[in-house]
Copies of this chain bind each other. A is one copy, B any other.
Amino acid sequence: MPRVIDHDERRRQIIAVARQLMEEGGFAAATMRGIASAAGFANGALKHYFDGKDAIVLETFESVLTEMTEQTPPIREGVDPREELRSFLAATMPLNKHAIAGARVLLALWEHAQTNDVLLERYLKHMSMWKAELGKRLTAVLGEIPADDLQALIDETVTMSIGANVAALLMPEEQIIARYTRYVDDFMDRIEQLAPSPA
């Protein structure tokens, strides 16, 4: 039987390996040689699937952004809006091993977005979607509040999420999880104080 090579499957496999190497050792760890070796390819064989390291890097970032988008589903009807807000916020914080590992990729993404307009645009598009969903959840709890007050709450939590992801790379895991769980709790308390009293 002839050996069938599924080109797209191979590409996905290479990206998964690149991402894992980046999650384990940061951007510098994802060398072409290392990716080829970990994916079981001969050195140089990656060229059949990607034009070069830049193409692999961009596709790796794309896979992370796609996953992040999947983790921010549209707000659900019939669910306690406070719970919808809390779980959304918690999902953007480095509160488990998987999210902390992902922070290494995010840091590399931000570094590259500075000099790659396509990547920057892609990231800002993700961020717009993220902010819009956050805004819906805040409004579901708070009712209509002045637009700039809503924007300030959105900006704060987005910035906290970015900062927490960087901090997650520099500090011990248990400190990070405790610290940002506390932040989510405190933020929800503040929201509770801003929310209209039940009628």
Contacts and interface: CB of A to CB of B under 8 A. Distances in A.
B159 A26 contact: no
A111 B167 contact: no
B26 A152 contact: no
Interface string A138-168: 0000000000100010011011111110110
A42 B27 CA distance: 31
Interface residues of A, number: 38
Q: For the complex, would chain A's binding face be called helix, strand, loop or mixed by DSSP majority?
A: helix
A108 B114 CA distance: 11
Interface string A95-128: 0000000001001101101110000100110010
A171 B113 CA distance: 11
A4 interface: no
A179 interface: yes
